[in-house]
Amino acid sequence: MINIEKTTLNAFDCLYEESELVVYGAPFDGTTSFRPGTRFGPAYIRNDFLGLETYSPYLDMDLREFKLHDSGNVYIPIGNTEKALDNIYDTAKKIVEDGKVPFLLGGEHLVTYPAFRAVYEKYPDIYLLHFDAHTDLRDFFFGEKLSHATVIKRCWDLLGDGRIYQFGIRSGEKSEFAWSDSHTIMERYTISTIKEVVEVLKNKNVYITIDLDVLDPAVVPGTGTPEPGGVGFKELMEAIHMLKDVNIVGMDIVELSPQYDTTGASTAVACKLLRELTLTALKK
């Protein structure tokens, strides 16, 4: 069992100052209601990333051609949600203020909120692209405003209507789906509209948040709440490749709970998405 790690992500070994994109981890799972364990996400990704080629035949690009930095994990004071989110915010804020693209590795989905907020403050005209099985549009969950189940609603508090695109959504309460009808642009079950969306958002500033449970549990069983009926890996990867036409200013991959999938396949998926997203964001 990995408790904690200091390893640097392979090929993300450029100095911070010289880098154009910075990965940072947030091993936080403090509001996870059922199966905890996303705190182990960044450690497993960093370890298994060594087994992945740095070259993408899909994009004919190699991570080694770019200036990338891994700044390690944000300090998470156990049991203090507010403080943990503040620390994530501070890290994201610094990266984005320094003119670099912040790429967050979760942790549970709530970590997206402070990370997104920091990026939003720099780019108030930003759009949010949200890939997930769940709506995440509750206002409260277990009595709390800040939760993995409310995180997109909190982002909407910042953005307002029409600026959030949701893909692959297949689970939520009836009221969440109803609310989304007039506040977000939601594609249920699939991500077939991505091409049109990219055309609409061409060259616009975009933040991408990928909850790995948007993928079918056959592809990523290592997550807190497996939701059968998800999208396939190739489907998601092709969608990611289309994003080269928007201006990606921030990203995250969340909800990997690697210890539930002892085969390592779920972590391998997270690693490959990390590579493809990074290269897509840096594509000229």
Residues from 179 through 218 that contact its own copies (CB under 8 A)? 188, 216-218
Tell the residue number behind the tokens 């990611």, with chain if given: 240
d(CA 183, CA 279): 31
Q: How many angstroms separate the CA atoms of 164 and 148, rounded?
A: 17
Residue 128 has, within 13 A of its CA and on its CB side, a CA count of 33
Residues 56-85 within binding reach of its own copies (CB under 8 A): 57-58, 60, 62, 72-73, 77-81, 83
Q: How far is the CB of 163 from its own copies (least distance, A)?
A: 22
- Residue 276 CB, nearest approach to its own copies (Å): 10
The CB-side HSE value for 71 (13 A sphere, CA atoms) comes to: 25
The reply to whether 174 sits near its own copies by the rule CB under 8 A is yes
Contacts by residues 78-87 (CB-CB < 8 Å, ≥ 24 positions apart): 78/30, 79/30, 81/30, 81/31, 81/110, 81/146, 82/146, 84/26, 84/28, 84/30, 85/110, 85/111, 85/113, 85/114, 85/146, 86/114
Interaction of residue 261 with its own copies, rule CB under 8 A: yes
Residue 283 interacting with its own copies (CB under 8 A): no
Listed ranges 87-95, 201-209, 223-231, 240-248: which one lies at the site for its own copies (CB under 8 A): 223-231
Q: Select the span of 91-99, 123-131, 204-212, 258-266 touching its own copies (CB under 8 A).
A: 258-266
Q: Please select the residue that binds its own copies; options are 209, 259, 278, 280, rule is CB under 8 A.
A: 259
What residues from 97 to 156 belong to the interface with its own copies (CB under 8 A)?
Answer: 142-144, 146-147
13 binds its own copies (CB under 8 A): no
